[in-house]
């Protein structure tokens, strides 16, 4: 399981609202054990099938 998999639905809802990745990072990163980079979010969104 990837670090953002538990947040996949939440990220998908934010994207449907038209939020950019920088805005999506703000509420999710504090929930993670260690914050991850913008590039990690970008890779997750572009590699995860519902987002592609």
pLDDT of residue 19: 96
Residue 52 domain-assigned (yes or no): no
Domain count, the chain: 1
pLDDT in tens, 6-51: 999 999 999 999 999 999 999 999 999 999 999 999 999 988 766 6
Residue 28 forms part of a structural domain: yes
> Does 16 reside within a domain?
yes
Taking the C-alpha atoms of residue 4 and residue 35, their distance in angstroms, rounded to an integer, is: 11
Residue 11 in domain:
yes
Tokens of 24: 């999506």
**Residue 33 domain-assigned (yes or no):** yes
- According to the model, what pLDDT value does residue 52 have? 53
Give the pLDDT of residue 51.
Answer: 62
- pTM across the whole model: 0.83
50: closest CA among 16, 12, 15? Answer: 12
Token couple for 27:
């509420």
What region, left, alpha or beta, does residue 20 occupy, with left being phi > 0 and alpha being psi -120 to 50 degrees?
A: beta
pLDDT at 47: 87
């Amino acid at each position: 399981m990837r670090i953002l998999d538990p947040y996949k639905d939440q990220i998908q809802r934010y994207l449907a609202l038209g939020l950019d990745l920088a805005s999506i990072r703000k509420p999710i990163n504090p929930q993670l054990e260690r914050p991850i980079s913008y590039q990690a979010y970008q890779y997750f969104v572009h590699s995860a099938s519902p987002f592609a």
